[in-house]
A and B are shown apart, each in its own frame.
Chain A
Amino acid sequence: MKPGTLRQILLITDGCSNQGEDPAAMAALAREQGITVNVIGVMENDVIDDKGMQEIESIANCGGGVSQIVYSQQLSQTVQMVTRKAMTQTIQGVVNKELQQILGNSVTMEDLPPEKRGEVMEVVDELGETSNLEVLILVDTSASMKLKLPTVKDALLDLSLSMNARLGNNQFSVFVFPGKKNDVEKLLDWTPKLEVLTRVFPKLTTGGITPTGPAITEALDYFNKKRSLRGLLSHDDEQYFEESI
Protein backbone atom coordinates (compact mmCIF):
# COMPACT_ATOMS: atom_id res chain seq x y z
CA MET A 1 0.00 0.00 0.00
CA LYS A 2 1.32 3.40 -0.93
CA PRO A 3 1.34 6.18 1.64
CA GLY A 4 -0.84 9.16 0.77
CA THR A 5 -1.60 12.45 2.48
CA LEU A 6 -3.57 12.73 5.70
CA ARG A 7 -5.42 15.99 6.24
CA GLN A 8 -6.45 17.24 9.66
CA ILE A 9 -7.85 20.32 11.32
CA LEU A 10 -6.73 20.71 14.93
CA LEU A 11 -8.93 22.98 16.98
CA ILE A 12 -7.61 24.24 20.32
CA THR A 13 -10.24 26.00 22.42
CA ASP A 14 -11.45 26.41 25.99
CA GLY A 15 -15.17 26.57 25.64
CA CYS A 16 -18.24 27.15 23.65
CA SER A 17 -18.63 29.00 20.40
CA ASN A 18 -20.99 31.97 20.47
CA GLN A 19 -21.01 33.29 16.96
CA GLY A 20 -21.70 32.05 13.46
CA GLU A 21 -22.73 28.68 12.12
CA ASP A 22 -22.78 25.45 14.13
CA PRO A 23 -19.19 24.18 14.32
CA ALA A 24 -20.31 20.54 14.40
CA ALA A 25 -22.06 20.95 11.06
CA MET A 26 -18.91 22.50 9.59
CA ALA A 27 -16.89 19.60 10.98
CA ALA A 28 -19.23 17.17 9.26
CA LEU A 29 -18.65 19.06 6.03
CA ALA A 30 -14.91 18.78 6.53
CA ARG A 31 -15.21 15.06 7.00
CA GLU A 32 -17.11 14.78 3.75
CA GLN A 33 -14.13 16.38 2.06
CA GLY A 34 -11.69 13.93 3.57
CA ILE A 35 -10.45 16.21 6.32
CA THR A 36 -10.50 14.97 9.90
CA VAL A 37 -11.34 17.44 12.68
CA ASN A 38 -9.70 16.99 16.11
CA VAL A 39 -10.51 19.12 19.13
CA ILE A 40 -8.55 19.79 22.30
CA GLY A 41 -10.21 21.60 25.19
CA VAL A 42 -7.67 23.34 27.45
CA MET A 43 -8.28 24.22 31.06
CA GLU A 44 -6.09 26.24 33.36
CA ASN A 45 -7.69 27.21 36.65
CA ASP A 46 -11.12 27.19 35.12
CA VAL A 47 -13.19 24.22 34.05
CA ILE A 48 -15.08 23.72 30.85
CA ASP A 49 -18.83 23.60 31.45
CA ASP A 50 -21.13 20.85 30.19
CA LYS A 51 -22.19 22.80 27.17
CA GLY A 52 -18.59 23.40 26.14
CA MET A 53 -17.75 19.73 26.70
CA GLN A 54 -20.65 18.61 24.55
CA GLU A 55 -19.68 20.93 21.75
CA ILE A 56 -16.07 19.73 21.82
CA GLU A 57 -17.18 16.12 21.64
CA SER A 58 -19.69 16.66 18.90
CA ILE A 59 -17.28 18.61 16.71
CA ALA A 60 -14.80 15.74 16.88
CA ASN A 61 -17.49 13.12 16.37
CA CYS A 62 -18.92 14.87 13.35
CA GLY A 63 -15.43 15.57 12.04
CA GLY A 64 -14.39 11.92 12.32
CA GLY A 65 -11.61 12.87 14.69
CA VAL A 66 -10.49 12.67 18.30
CA SER A 67 -11.28 14.98 21.20
CA GLN A 68 -9.62 15.41 24.55
CA ILE A 69 -9.99 17.79 27.47
CA VAL A 70 -6.76 18.57 29.34
CA TYR A 71 -5.12 20.87 31.82
CA SER A 72 -2.64 23.09 30.06
CA GLN A 73 0.37 21.34 31.67
CA GLN A 74 -0.49 18.26 29.65
CA LEU A 75 -1.15 20.07 26.42
CA SER A 76 2.09 19.14 24.64
CA GLN A 77 1.66 15.43 25.20
CA THR A 78 -1.99 15.61 24.27
CA VAL A 79 -1.52 17.47 21.02
CA GLN A 80 0.85 14.85 19.66
CA MET A 81 -1.24 11.98 21.01
CA VAL A 82 -4.46 13.29 19.50
CA THR A 83 -2.78 13.93 16.14
CA ARG A 84 -1.29 10.45 16.03
CA LYS A 85 -4.46 8.79 17.20
CA ALA A 86 -6.48 10.49 14.49
CA MET A 87 -3.89 9.50 11.88
CA THR A 88 -4.14 5.89 12.99
CA GLN A 89 -7.94 6.02 12.90
CA THR A 90 -7.96 7.31 9.35
CA ILE A 91 -5.42 4.79 8.15
CA GLN A 92 -7.27 2.03 9.91
CA GLY A 93 -10.43 3.05 8.10
CA VAL A 94 -8.61 2.66 4.81
CA VAL A 95 -7.13 -0.66 5.82
CA ASN A 96 -10.52 -1.96 6.96
CA LYS A 97 -11.93 -1.06 3.57
CA GLU A 98 -9.21 -3.02 1.86
CA LEU A 99 -9.85 -5.94 4.17
CA GLN A 100 -13.51 -5.88 3.31
CA GLN A 101 -12.69 -6.03 -0.36
CA ILE A 102 -10.65 -9.14 0.24
CA LEU A 103 -12.57 -10.86 2.99
CA GLY A 104 -16.13 -9.74 2.52
CA ASN A 105 -18.26 -7.01 3.89
CA SER A 106 -18.56 -6.84 7.63
CA VAL A 107 -14.99 -7.93 8.39
CA THR A 108 -12.85 -5.48 10.36
CA MET A 109 -9.46 -5.78 11.99
CA GLU A 110 -11.03 -6.82 15.29
CA ASP A 111 -12.50 -9.97 13.72
CA LEU A 112 -9.14 -11.32 12.65
CA PRO A 113 -7.21 -13.77 14.84
CA PRO A 114 -4.57 -11.99 16.95
CA GLU A 115 -1.65 -13.04 14.74
CA LYS A 116 -3.20 -11.66 11.56
CA ARG A 117 -4.38 -8.57 13.40
CA GLY A 118 -0.80 -7.92 14.44
CA GLU A 119 0.35 -8.13 10.84
CA VAL A 120 -2.34 -5.70 9.70
CA MET A 121 -1.39 -3.34 12.50
CA GLU A 122 2.18 -3.38 11.28
CA VAL A 123 0.93 -2.01 7.98
CA VAL A 124 -1.09 0.66 9.79
CA ASP A 125 1.93 1.72 11.84
CA GLU A 126 4.14 1.75 8.78
CA LEU A 127 1.71 4.06 6.99
CA GLY A 128 1.53 6.29 10.07
CA GLU A 129 5.29 6.69 9.88
CA THR A 130 5.55 7.28 6.15
CA SER A 131 2.36 9.14 5.18
CA ASN A 132 2.43 12.83 4.45
CA LEU A 133 0.53 14.96 6.89
CA GLU A 134 -1.18 18.32 6.57
CA VAL A 135 -2.46 19.90 9.77
CA LEU A 136 -4.30 23.18 9.86
CA ILE A 137 -4.28 24.46 13.43
CA LEU A 138 -7.08 26.69 14.68
CA VAL A 139 -6.33 28.50 17.93
CA ASP A 140 -9.06 30.11 19.98
CA THR A 141 -7.73 33.54 21.05
CA SER A 142 -10.83 34.78 22.83
CA ALA A 143 -10.23 36.60 26.12
CA SER A 144 -10.37 33.53 28.38
CA MET A 145 -7.45 31.95 26.48
CA LYS A 146 -5.00 34.69 27.40
CA LEU A 147 -3.00 32.85 30.08
CA LYS A 148 -3.01 29.66 28.04
CA LEU A 149 -1.46 31.05 24.87
CA PRO A 150 2.21 30.56 25.82
CA THR A 151 1.45 26.91 26.59
CA VAL A 152 -0.36 26.52 23.29
CA LYS A 153 2.67 27.87 21.47
CA ASP A 154 4.98 25.42 23.25
CA ALA A 155 2.63 22.56 22.49
CA LEU A 156 2.62 23.41 18.78
CA LEU A 157 6.41 23.56 18.66
CA ASP A 158 6.43 20.19 20.33
CA LEU A 159 3.99 18.81 17.77
CA SER A 160 6.25 19.94 14.99
CA LEU A 161 9.18 18.20 16.71
CA SER A 162 7.26 14.93 17.02
CA MET A 163 5.85 14.87 13.53
CA ASN A 164 9.11 15.88 11.90
CA ALA A 165 10.80 12.84 13.40
CA ARG A 166 8.63 10.72 11.06
CA LEU A 167 9.77 9.67 7.63
CA GLY A 168 6.74 11.26 5.92
CA ASN A 169 6.53 14.96 5.06
CA ASN A 170 4.55 17.49 7.07
CA GLN A 171 2.83 20.76 6.36
CA PHE A 172 1.42 22.93 9.10
CA SER A 173 -0.58 26.10 8.96
CA VAL A 174 -1.90 28.21 11.85
CA PHE A 175 -5.03 30.35 12.11
CA VAL A 176 -6.37 32.27 15.11
CA PHE A 177 -9.96 33.23 15.86
CA PRO A 178 -11.29 35.82 16.49
CA GLY A 179 -8.76 37.84 14.49
CA LYS A 180 -8.06 41.54 14.85
CA LYS A 181 -10.20 42.52 11.88
CA ASN A 182 -12.01 39.37 10.83
CA ASP A 183 -13.53 36.37 12.54
CA VAL A 184 -10.52 34.34 11.53
CA GLU A 185 -6.98 35.36 10.70
CA LYS A 186 -4.11 33.48 9.14
CA LEU A 187 -0.99 33.53 11.28
CA LEU A 188 1.21 31.15 9.37
CA ASP A 189 1.05 29.81 5.84
CA TRP A 190 1.80 26.15 5.04
CA THR A 191 5.25 25.29 6.32
CA PRO A 192 6.98 22.04 7.29
CA LYS A 193 8.29 23.42 10.58
CA LEU A 194 6.62 25.52 13.19
CA GLU A 195 9.71 27.20 14.67
CA VAL A 196 8.68 30.51 13.14
CA LEU A 197 5.75 30.54 15.56
CA THR A 198 8.06 31.77 18.29
CA ARG A 199 8.13 35.11 16.52
CA VAL A 200 4.59 35.47 15.26
CA PHE A 201 2.49 33.85 17.95
CA PRO A 202 0.14 36.35 19.60
CA LYS A 203 0.72 37.26 23.22
CA LEU A 204 -2.57 39.07 23.45
CA THR A 205 -6.11 37.90 23.04
CA THR A 206 -8.51 39.72 20.82
CA GLY A 207 -11.95 39.74 22.32
CA GLY A 208 -14.98 38.09 23.76
CA ILE A 209 -16.50 36.38 20.77
CA THR A 210 -15.69 32.78 19.83
CA PRO A 211 -16.58 32.17 16.17
CA THR A 212 -15.64 28.48 16.03
CA GLY A 213 -17.96 27.61 13.15
CA PRO A 214 -16.65 30.34 10.83
CA ALA A 215 -13.10 29.34 11.77
CA ILE A 216 -13.67 25.77 10.58
CA THR A 217 -15.29 27.05 7.39
CA GLU A 218 -12.28 29.24 6.70
CA ALA A 219 -9.94 26.32 7.36
CA LEU A 220 -11.84 24.23 4.81
CA ASP A 221 -11.58 26.98 2.20
CA TYR A 222 -7.90 27.23 2.79
CA PHE A 223 -7.42 23.49 2.42
CA ASN A 224 -9.36 23.54 -0.83
CA LYS A 225 -7.34 26.43 -2.19
CA LYS A 226 -4.20 24.47 -1.57
CA ARG A 227 -5.65 21.46 -3.25
CA SER A 228 -6.81 23.25 -6.37
CA LEU A 229 -3.51 25.05 -6.64
CA ARG A 230 -1.73 21.77 -6.48
CA GLY A 231 -4.17 20.33 -8.96
CA LEU A 232 -3.09 23.02 -11.39
CA LEU A 233 0.56 22.36 -10.84
CA SER A 234 0.57 18.62 -10.93
CA HIS A 235 -1.88 15.94 -11.88
CA ASP A 236 -0.34 13.00 -10.15
CA ASP A 237 -1.43 14.01 -6.69
CA GLU A 238 -3.07 10.98 -5.24
CA GLN A 239 -6.07 11.40 -3.05
CA TYR A 240 -6.01 8.03 -1.53
CA PHE A 241 -7.04 8.75 2.03
CA GLU A 242 -9.70 11.29 1.21
CA GLU A 243 -11.72 8.90 -0.82
CA SER A 244 -11.61 6.31 1.84
CA ILE A 245 -12.72 8.02 5.03
Chain B
Amino acid sequence: MMMNNTLRNQFKFLPGHVIKGKWNKNTYKVIKELGCGANGIVYLAENDRQQLVALKLSDNGISIISEMNILKAFSKVQGSVLGPSFMEADDFVVNGKNMPFYVMEYIKGEGYLPFIQKKGQAWTGVLVLQLLSSLSALHKQGWIFGDLKPDNLIVTLPTYKIRCIDVGGTTLIGRSVKEFTEFFDRGYWGMGSRKADPQYDLFAVAMIMLNSSYPKRFSRKEGGFSQLKEMMEQKKEFTPYKAILEKALTGKYLTAEEMRNDMAHVLGRHSQKKSAPAAQPTGKPAATRQARRAQSKQITRRKPKYAFLETFLLILIVSLLYTLYIYGQLL
Protein backbone atom coordinates (compact mmCIF):
# COMPACT_ATOMS: atom_id res chain seq x y z
CA MET B 1 0.00 0.00 0.00
CA MET B 2 1.04 3.52 -0.69
CA MET B 3 2.13 5.47 2.32
CA ASN B 4 0.40 8.77 2.83
CA ASN B 5 3.50 10.89 3.09
CA THR B 6 1.86 14.27 3.31
CA LEU B 7 -0.13 13.12 6.29
CA ARG B 8 2.97 11.72 7.91
CA ASN B 9 5.00 14.86 7.54
CA GLN B 10 2.37 17.48 8.14
CA PHE B 11 0.71 15.96 11.13
CA LYS B 12 3.38 14.08 12.91
CA PHE B 13 2.83 14.82 16.55
CA LEU B 14 5.67 14.50 18.99
CA PRO B 15 5.30 13.07 22.48
CA GLY B 16 3.54 15.52 24.75
CA HIS B 17 1.37 17.03 22.03
CA VAL B 18 -2.23 17.42 23.15
CA ILE B 19 -5.04 16.39 20.84
CA LYS B 20 -8.36 17.95 21.79
CA GLY B 21 -11.71 16.91 20.30
CA LYS B 22 -13.83 19.64 18.73
CA TRP B 23 -17.16 18.06 19.66
CA ASN B 24 -16.68 16.15 22.90
CA LYS B 25 -13.80 18.31 24.17
CA ASN B 26 -11.84 15.37 25.53
CA THR B 27 -8.07 15.70 25.49
CA TYR B 28 -5.40 13.16 24.72
CA LYS B 29 -1.69 13.50 25.32
CA VAL B 30 0.45 11.81 22.66
CA ILE B 31 2.94 9.36 24.12
CA LYS B 32 4.34 7.86 20.95
CA GLU B 33 3.50 6.75 17.45
CA LEU B 34 2.40 3.12 17.26
CA GLY B 35 2.24 2.77 13.53
CA CYS B 36 1.22 4.28 10.26
CA GLY B 37 -1.25 2.64 7.90
CA ALA B 38 -2.77 3.59 4.57
CA ASN B 39 -5.60 5.46 6.24
CA GLY B 40 -3.87 7.26 9.05
CA ILE B 41 -1.49 7.30 11.96
CA VAL B 42 -2.08 5.44 15.21
CA TYR B 43 -0.77 7.03 18.41
CA LEU B 44 -0.44 5.71 21.90
CA ALA B 45 -1.99 8.42 24.05
CA GLU B 46 -3.16 9.15 27.55
CA ASN B 47 -6.70 10.34 28.23
CA ASP B 48 -8.02 12.69 30.94
CA ARG B 49 -8.09 9.85 33.40
CA GLN B 50 -4.47 8.81 32.78
CA GLN B 51 -5.53 5.68 30.92
CA LEU B 52 -3.56 4.50 27.92
CA VAL B 53 -5.53 4.48 24.69
CA ALA B 54 -4.80 4.05 20.98
CA LEU B 55 -5.87 7.02 18.86
CA LYS B 56 -6.14 6.84 15.08
CA LEU B 57 -5.94 10.12 13.23
CA SER B 58 -6.49 10.76 9.54
CA ASP B 59 -6.67 13.68 7.16
CA ASN B 60 -9.05 11.81 4.92
CA GLY B 61 -12.46 11.70 6.56
CA ILE B 62 -14.03 8.99 4.50
CA SER B 63 -12.11 5.78 4.93
CA ILE B 64 -11.57 6.33 8.62
CA ILE B 65 -15.33 6.71 9.13
CA SER B 66 -16.08 3.32 7.58
CA GLU B 67 -13.38 1.85 9.75
CA MET B 68 -14.85 3.49 12.82
CA ASN B 69 -18.31 2.15 12.01
CA ILE B 70 -16.89 -1.34 11.77
CA LEU B 71 -15.02 -0.97 15.03
CA LYS B 72 -18.22 0.21 16.70
CA ALA B 73 -20.20 -2.72 15.35
CA PHE B 74 -17.35 -5.01 16.31
CA SER B 75 -17.27 -3.73 19.87
CA LYS B 76 -20.94 -4.52 20.21
CA VAL B 77 -20.45 -8.15 19.23
CA GLN B 78 -21.01 -9.91 22.50
CA GLY B 79 -18.39 -12.12 23.98
CA SER B 80 -15.85 -11.17 21.38
CA VAL B 81 -12.59 -10.18 22.96
CA LEU B 82 -10.91 -10.26 19.60
CA GLY B 83 -10.63 -6.60 18.62
CA PRO B 84 -10.01 -3.38 20.53
CA SER B 85 -13.10 -1.81 22.06
CA PHE B 86 -14.30 1.48 20.66
CA MET B 87 -14.24 4.56 22.89
CA GLU B 88 -15.17 7.71 20.98
CA ALA B 89 -14.85 9.57 17.71
CA ASP B 90 -14.15 13.25 17.28
CA ASP B 91 -12.39 15.86 15.13
CA PHE B 92 -9.11 17.58 15.80
CA VAL B 93 -8.75 20.98 14.18
CA VAL B 94 -5.22 21.87 13.07
CA ASN B 95 -4.64 25.12 11.21
CA GLY B 96 -8.31 25.25 10.32
CA LYS B 97 -8.22 21.74 8.89
CA ASN B 98 -10.56 19.08 10.24
CA MET B 99 -8.82 15.84 11.10
CA PRO B 100 -11.18 13.09 12.18
CA PHE B 101 -9.91 10.65 14.77
CA TYR B 102 -11.23 7.80 16.86
CA VAL B 103 -10.10 6.40 20.16
CA MET B 104 -9.94 2.74 21.05
CA GLU B 105 -8.56 0.40 23.65
CA TYR B 106 -4.79 0.09 23.54
CA ILE B 107 -3.80 -3.51 23.03
CA LYS B 108 -0.38 -4.13 24.51
CA GLY B 109 1.65 -7.10 23.54
CA GLU B 110 3.87 -8.60 20.93
CA GLY B 111 3.23 -9.23 17.24
CA TYR B 112 2.25 -12.78 16.36
CA LEU B 113 5.27 -13.71 14.24
CA PRO B 114 7.92 -12.14 16.51
CA PHE B 115 6.25 -13.93 19.41
CA ILE B 116 6.40 -17.31 17.64
CA GLN B 117 9.96 -16.70 16.59
CA LYS B 118 10.95 -15.98 20.17
CA LYS B 119 8.91 -18.64 21.94
CA GLY B 120 8.97 -21.43 19.39
CA GLN B 121 6.63 -23.10 16.94
CA ALA B 122 4.96 -25.00 19.77
CA TRP B 123 2.90 -21.88 20.45
CA THR B 124 1.33 -21.89 17.01
CA GLY B 125 -1.20 -24.56 17.90
CA VAL B 126 -2.37 -22.94 21.12
CA LEU B 127 -2.70 -19.50 19.64
CA VAL B 128 -4.58 -20.81 16.63
CA LEU B 129 -6.90 -22.64 19.01
CA GLN B 130 -7.63 -19.36 20.80
CA LEU B 131 -8.09 -17.55 17.55
CA LEU B 132 -10.60 -20.12 16.36
CA SER B 133 -12.65 -19.73 19.55
CA SER B 134 -12.85 -15.99 19.04
CA LEU B 135 -13.68 -16.38 15.37
CA SER B 136 -16.42 -18.82 16.22
CA ALA B 137 -18.04 -16.20 18.47
CA LEU B 138 -17.70 -13.54 15.79
CA HIS B 139 -19.16 -15.77 13.07
CA LYS B 140 -22.14 -16.61 15.24
CA GLN B 141 -22.95 -12.91 15.32
CA GLY B 142 -22.99 -12.78 11.54
CA TRP B 143 -19.57 -11.24 10.88
CA ILE B 144 -16.24 -12.44 9.59
CA PHE B 145 -12.89 -10.81 10.32
CA GLY B 146 -11.75 -10.61 6.70
CA ASP B 147 -8.21 -9.28 6.86
CA LEU B 148 -6.75 -11.98 9.10
CA LYS B 149 -2.96 -12.02 9.05
CA PRO B 150 -0.10 -12.17 11.55
CA ASP B 151 0.47 -8.39 11.34
CA ASN B 152 -3.03 -7.87 12.67
CA LEU B 153 -2.60 -10.31 15.55
CA ILE B 154 -1.12 -9.38 18.89
CA VAL B 155 -0.27 -11.74 21.73
CA THR B 156 -0.99 -9.89 24.96
CA LEU B 157 1.28 -10.24 27.96
CA PRO B 158 1.28 -11.59 30.59
CA THR B 159 -1.94 -13.42 29.73
CA TYR B 160 -0.74 -14.85 26.39
CA LYS B 161 -4.06 -14.14 24.75
CA ILE B 162 -4.39 -13.55 21.07
CA ARG B 163 -6.12 -10.31 20.06
CA CYS B 164 -6.67 -8.52 16.78
CA ILE B 165 -5.99 -4.96 15.82
CA ASP B 166 -7.15 -3.33 12.61
CA VAL B 167 -10.71 -4.55 12.25
CA GLY B 168 -11.06 -2.67 8.94
CA GLY B 169 -11.65 -5.91 7.02
CA THR B 170 -14.54 -7.08 9.19
CA THR B 171 -17.49 -7.86 6.94
CA LEU B 172 -21.10 -8.96 7.35
CA ILE B 173 -21.56 -12.52 6.12
CA GLY B 174 -22.85 -12.43 2.55
CA ARG B 175 -21.21 -9.08 1.72
CA SER B 176 -17.97 -8.52 -0.18
CA VAL B 177 -14.65 -8.48 1.64
CA LYS B 178 -13.07 -5.11 0.83
CA GLU B 179 -9.87 -5.23 2.81
CA PHE B 180 -7.62 -8.24 2.49
CA THR B 181 -3.99 -9.21 2.06
CA GLU B 182 -3.15 -11.32 -0.95
CA PHE B 183 -1.25 -14.11 0.76
CA PHE B 184 -4.16 -14.76 3.15
CA ASP B 185 -6.93 -14.21 0.61
CA ARG B 186 -8.54 -17.31 -0.85
CA GLY B 187 -9.50 -15.36 -3.98
CA TYR B 188 -5.85 -14.63 -4.73
CA TRP B 189 -5.03 -18.35 -4.59
CA GLY B 190 -7.97 -19.23 -6.78
CA MET B 191 -9.59 -21.12 -3.91
CA GLY B 192 -12.90 -19.30 -3.81
CA SER B 193 -14.75 -16.00 -3.89
CA ARG B 194 -14.37 -12.81 -1.86
CA LYS B 195 -17.89 -13.09 -0.54
CA ALA B 196 -17.76 -13.18 3.24
CA ASP B 197 -18.44 -16.59 4.78
CA PRO B 198 -16.81 -18.38 7.74
CA GLN B 199 -14.68 -20.41 5.33
CA TYR B 200 -13.01 -17.21 4.18
CA ASP B 201 -11.56 -16.67 7.66
CA LEU B 202 -10.66 -20.33 8.12
CA PHE B 203 -8.66 -20.28 4.90
CA ALA B 204 -6.72 -17.32 6.30
CA VAL B 205 -6.12 -19.17 9.57
CA ALA B 206 -4.53 -22.02 7.61
CA MET B 207 -2.38 -19.50 5.74
CA ILE B 208 -1.30 -17.94 9.04
CA MET B 209 -0.06 -21.37 10.06
CA LEU B 210 1.82 -21.71 6.78
CA ASN B 211 3.23 -18.24 7.30
CA SER B 212 4.71 -19.24 10.67
CA SER B 213 6.92 -21.75 8.86
CA TYR B 214 7.51 -19.50 5.86
CA PRO B 215 8.19 -16.14 7.51
CA LYS B 216 9.00 -14.58 4.16
CA ARG B 217 5.79 -16.01 2.68
CA PHE B 218 5.85 -17.20 -0.94
CA SER B 219 4.29 -15.97 -4.10
CA ARG B 220 1.71 -17.50 -6.35
CA LYS B 221 3.10 -19.64 -9.14
CA GLU B 222 0.46 -21.91 -10.60
CA GLY B 223 -1.73 -21.07 -7.57
CA GLY B 224 -4.54 -23.32 -6.53
CA PHE B 225 -4.52 -26.13 -4.03
CA SER B 226 -1.61 -28.01 -5.58
CA GLN B 227 0.87 -25.25 -4.84
CA LEU B 228 -0.35 -24.76 -1.28
CA LYS B 229 -0.33 -28.47 -0.64
CA GLU B 230 3.22 -28.74 -1.89
CA MET B 231 4.38 -25.92 0.36
CA MET B 232 2.68 -27.60 3.28
CA GLU B 233 4.27 -30.97 2.59
CA GLN B 234 7.73 -29.47 2.44
CA LYS B 235 7.67 -28.69 6.17
CA LYS B 236 7.54 -31.64 8.49
CA GLU B 237 6.05 -29.63 11.35
CA PHE B 238 2.77 -29.65 9.44
CA THR B 239 2.50 -33.45 9.40
CA PRO B 240 0.14 -33.66 12.40
CA TYR B 241 -2.04 -30.84 11.04
CA LYS B 242 -2.11 -32.01 7.43
CA ALA B 243 -5.73 -33.09 7.37
CA ILE B 244 -6.87 -29.95 9.19
CA LEU B 245 -4.97 -27.62 6.92
CA GLU B 246 -6.27 -29.35 3.82
CA LYS B 247 -9.84 -29.06 5.01
CA ALA B 248 -9.44 -25.40 5.91
CA LEU B 249 -7.75 -24.52 2.62
CA THR B 250 -10.43 -26.19 0.57
CA GLY B 251 -13.33 -24.71 2.53
CA LYS B 252 -14.55 -28.00 3.95
CA TYR B 253 -15.01 -26.74 7.50
CA LEU B 254 -18.45 -25.24 7.85
CA THR B 255 -17.70 -23.62 11.20
CA ALA B 256 -14.69 -22.38 13.15
CA GLU B 257 -15.77 -24.69 15.96
CA GLU B 258 -15.28 -27.77 13.81
CA MET B 259 -11.77 -26.72 12.96
CA ARG B 260 -11.10 -25.85 16.57
CA ASN B 261 -12.22 -29.28 17.74
CA ASP B 262 -9.95 -31.04 15.26
CA MET B 263 -7.12 -28.77 16.28
CA ALA B 264 -7.67 -29.45 19.99
CA HIS B 265 -7.74 -33.16 19.28
CA VAL B 266 -4.41 -33.12 17.46
CA LEU B 267 -2.80 -30.90 20.08
CA GLY B 268 -3.98 -33.16 22.88
CA ARG B 269 -2.79 -36.33 21.20
CA HIS B 270 0.47 -34.72 20.26
CA SER B 271 1.45 -33.58 23.69
CA GLN B 272 0.36 -36.82 25.30
CA LYS B 273 2.69 -38.79 23.11
CA LYS B 274 5.69 -36.63 23.79
CA SER B 275 5.39 -35.94 27.49
CA ALA B 276 3.39 -38.91 28.60
CA PRO B 277 4.47 -39.84 32.11
CA ALA B 278 4.68 -36.55 33.97
CA ALA B 279 1.55 -35.93 35.99
CA GLN B 280 -0.53 -33.26 34.31
CA PRO B 281 -1.44 -30.45 36.63
CA THR B 282 -5.17 -30.18 36.31
CA GLY B 283 -6.95 -27.10 35.11
CA LYS B 284 -3.84 -25.56 33.58
CA PRO B 285 -4.40 -23.93 30.24
CA ALA B 286 -3.17 -25.62 27.12
CA ALA B 287 -0.51 -22.96 26.86
CA THR B 288 1.70 -24.33 29.59
CA ARG B 289 1.45 -27.83 28.22
CA GLN B 290 2.65 -26.58 24.90
CA ALA B 291 5.57 -24.72 26.38
CA ARG B 292 6.75 -27.82 28.11
CA ARG B 293 6.46 -29.87 24.95
CA ALA B 294 8.71 -27.46 23.15
CA GLN B 295 11.37 -27.85 25.77
CA SER B 296 11.28 -31.60 26.02
CA LYS B 297 11.46 -31.89 22.27
CA GLN B 298 14.79 -30.14 22.10
CA ILE B 299 16.18 -32.17 24.91
CA THR B 300 15.24 -35.64 23.76
CA ARG B 301 17.89 -35.45 21.11
CA ARG B 302 20.43 -35.77 23.90
CA LYS B 303 20.79 -38.62 26.39
CA PRO B 304 17.36 -39.68 27.56
CA LYS B 305 18.29 -40.07 31.27
CA TYR B 306 19.51 -36.55 31.61
CA ALA B 307 16.64 -35.43 29.54
CA PHE B 308 14.18 -36.36 32.24
CA LEU B 309 16.19 -34.59 34.93
CA GLU B 310 16.66 -31.57 32.76
CA THR B 311 12.99 -31.38 31.94
CA PHE B 312 12.21 -31.57 35.61
CA LEU B 313 14.69 -28.84 36.46
CA LEU B 314 13.48 -26.68 33.65
CA ILE B 315 9.91 -26.97 34.74
CA LEU B 316 10.99 -26.13 38.26
CA ILE B 317 12.89 -23.06 37.13
CA VAL B 318 10.15 -21.91 34.84
CA SER B 319 7.56 -22.34 37.58
CA LEU B 320 9.75 -20.39 40.00
CA LEU B 321 10.27 -17.59 37.53
CA TYR B 322 6.59 -17.53 36.78
CA THR B 323 5.71 -17.32 40.49
CA LEU B 324 8.19 -14.51 40.94
CA TYR B 325 6.74 -12.79 37.92
CA ILE B 326 3.19 -13.08 39.20
CA TYR B 327 4.33 -11.63 42.53
CA GLY B 328 5.99 -8.82 40.69
CA GLN B 329 2.73 -8.11 38.87
CA LEU B 330 0.73 -8.13 42.08
CA LEU B 331 3.00 -5.78 43.99
Contact = CB atoms under 8 A, between A and B. Distances in A.
Interface of A: 68, 70, 76-77, 84, 88, 92, 109-110, 113-115, 117-118, 121-122, 125, 129, 158, 161-167
Interface stretch (B29-37, B172-180, B254-262): B172-180
Interface stretch (B64-72, B155-163, B282-290, B294-302): B64-72
Given A110-B98, A167-B175, A158 B69 contact: no
A191 B252 CA distance: 31
Contacts of B193: 161, 164-165
Given A88-B62, A125-B66, A76 B72 contact: no
A162 B176 CA distance: 7
Contact of B61 (A110, A161, A162, A163): A110
The interface residues of chain A, by DSSP majority, are classed as helix
B233 interface: no
B89 interface: yes
A192 to B, nearest CB: 14
Given A118-B68, A118-B89, 6 more contacts: A88-B62, A110-B98, A117-B61, A161-B193, A165-B196, A166-B176
B91 A114 contact: yes
B90 interface: yes
Contact of B66 (A113, A121, A166): A121
Interface string B234-266: 000000000000000000000000000000000
B40 to A, nearest CB: 14
Interface magnitude class on chain B: 20 to 34
B168 interface: no
Given A114-B23, A114-B100, A158 B90 contact: no
Interface of B: 1-2, 23, 61-62, 65-66, 68-69, 72, 89-91, 98, 100, 102, 174-178, 182, 187-188, 193-196
Given A113-B23, A117-B61, A68 B72 contact: no
Contacts of B176: 129, 162-163, 165-167
28 contacts: A68-B2, A76-B182, A77-B182, A88-B62, A109-B62, A110-B98, A114-B68, A114-B90, A115-B89, A117-B61, A117-B65, A117-B100, A118-B72, A118-B89, A121-B62, A125-B66, A125-B69, A129-B175, A158-B187, A158-B188, A161-B187, A161-B193, A162-B176, A162-B178, A162-B187, A165-B194, A165-B195, A165-B196
Contacts of A110: 61, 98
A206 to B, nearest CB: 28
A217 B83 CA distance: 48
A124 to B, nearest CB: 8
A76 B68 CA distance: 26
